[in-house]
Amino acid sequence: MTPGISIPPKNIALAVDTGGTNTRIGLLELDKGLICHASYPTALFRDKNQMAETLYDGFCGMLDSNDINYHRIAGIGHGSTGVPDFKNVTILDSPNLPKSLLPLDLAPRIAKKFKLKTMGVGNDCSFAALGEDRFGYEPKGVEPLPEGSRRSPGAFRISPYQIFPKKFEKKCFYTVSTGENGGFTDKGVIMGRPELGHGYGGDEDFFGRTAECGPNCKGVGHVEAVHSGSALGKMILREYKFLPSNVRNSQVWTQIDTMVSKGMNEEKLLKAIPKTLYDCARSGDPLALLISDWHNEKTCRVIGNILASGYQPQIIAFGGSVTKSMDFSMVPAFRMFAESVARGSKDYTGFQPEAQLPALAVCRDYGENHILLGAGAFVFNKLYGAEL
């Protein structure tokens, strides 16, 4: 926010983030960002009408408890998994949302109740990139790469070049979570959205088995199938099942033994395994360290795929559950990338000139709130421009 410019009276945005598991809502204040949020299981909603009613009640509760006059509401933004129809402010289709909710015209339904004119819909990753653009960290300068040390998100930035711009105009947000994908912005405007998660990542998992995307894609060789959190869970659990119990000579296997003996079901195991892997790596388990090194090489490939997309971001900000173990899942990968560039290798950069290589960072709060931040940013950008 530029000093001397008064804050417009309409300085609150309503934000919605609909995902396969949870639907989240939040309030954003123009110069503060997210001030409160709430989450509902998406399975709670039977139909669009009931969903809009429930979220409207949720917003009213938040506005009232924060003592916010409804006249201050600038508009509503809706970020979602799936295919957006910008003209009708609707999510047309999504493999992750229940069929009974599709096509999902949440923003117009809630806008009508609050009598709002400004509204928008967007793909989750594109909105997350917009959230990073308006409410992410500002560049602080180049920090040396610490040897194996843990760092808080955003405090860590590296760049193959030594001069940072005052503000990054071109940004990429990339999530490594259940699935993975990226979004791009240029001066606060969302750019195209290539399906980066389904770019090339290698045909085989760490154990040499064929890696295939989930039921909606089924492609072999896609980065999501070897690099995402669910890919890590799947490949480790699959190998665990193949291994005779007398050769389970790694903490990774004994930790899974313990979880299985506690009666944890497959779904929960898949979710728990990535964190277990990095806990084992942290305590020096050789197999866990090998797997995390292998995963870091894939992260370098991801950076390469982003560079090859042609959008030339000045910064790539990583988010998602896997980045929560950033001391093993991100920082060493950034170092691996920088060392490769320093050696003059083109393995990850192709013909990209060194001067145009992006800074690398981990998002504030691991990108957990970035879709809400982006939904609010969309409203503020539309009304006041990306600069205010």
Helices 229-242/251-261 angle, 10° precision: 90
Residue 314 contacts residue 165 (beta carbons within 8 Å): yes
The H or E element spanning position 14 is strand 12-18
Nearest distance from C-beta of residue 179 to Zn ion, angstroms = 9
AA letter at 194: P
Residue closer to Zn ion, measured from CB, 78 or 222: 222
Instruction: Return the residues of window 69-128 that contact Zn ion according to CB under 5 A.
Output: none
Count residues binding Zn ion (CB under 5 A).
5
Residue closer to Zn ion, measured from CB, 158 or 217: 217
Instruction: Return the residues of window 185-224 that contact Zn ion according to CB under 5 A.
Output: 198, 213, 217, 219, 222
Nearest distance from C-beta of residue 181 to Zn ion, angstroms = 10
Residue closer to Zn ion, measured from CB, 36 or 217: 217
Residue closer to Zn ion, measured from CB, 198 or 234: 198
Nearest alpha-carbon partner for 227 in 280, 314, 295, 290 = 295
Nearest distance from C-beta of residue 231 to Zn ion, angstroms = 11
Residue closer to Zn ion, measured from CB, 106 or 231: 231
Residue closer to Zn ion, measured from CB, 213 or 375: 213
Tokens 């060392």 belong to residue: 339
Residue 107 contacts residue 78 (beta carbons within 8 Å): yes
Rounded Cα gap, residues 211 and 216, in angstroms: 14
Instruction: Return the residues of window 216-275 that contact Zn ion according to CB under 5 A.
Output: 217, 219, 222
Rounded Cα gap, residues 302 and 307, in angstroms: 9
Residue closer to Zn ion, measured from CB, 109 or 198: 198
Nearest distance from C-beta of residue 85 to Zn ion, angstroms = 24
3-state helix, strand, coil in the chain (%, to 5): 45, 20, 35
Nearest distance from C-beta of residue 191 to Zn ion, angstroms = 22
Residue closer to Zn ion, measured from CB, 228 or 321: 228
Residue closer to Zn ion, measured from CB, 229 or 376: 229
The DSSP bridge pattern shows strands 170-176 and 189-190 to be: unpaired
Nearest distance from C-beta of residue 300 to Zn ion, angstroms = 20
The DSSP bridge pattern shows strands 119-123 and 73-80 to be: parallel
Nearest distance from C-beta of residue 67 to Zn ion, angstroms = 47
AA letter at 45: F
Nearest distance from C-beta of residue 128 to Zn ion, angstroms = 20
CA geometry: angle at 104 spanning 184 and 381, to 5°? 40
Instruction: Return the residues of window 134-163 that contact Zn ion according to CB under 5 A.
Output: none
What is each CA distance from 290 to 10, 27, 143, 147, 157, in whole angstroms?
53, 43, 26, 17, 25
Q: SS in 3 state form for 298-310?
A: HHHHHHHHHHHCC
Nearest distance from C-beta of residue 64 to Zn ion, angstroms = 44
Copy the structure tokens of residue 298.
Answer: 């894939």
Residue 306 contacts residue 314 (beta carbons within 8 Å): no
Nearest distance from C-beta of residue 199 to Zn ion, angstroms = 9
> Edge to edge, what strands does the sheet with 33-41 contain?
33-41, 22-29, 12-18, 73-80, 119-123
The H or E element spanning position 173 is strand 170-176
Residue 174 contacts residue 302 (beta carbons within 8 Å): yes
**Residues β-bridged to residue 80:** 18, 123
Residue closer to Zn ion, measured from CB, 217 or 264: 217
| Binding site residues, Zn ion, CB under 5 A | 198, 213, 217, 219, 222
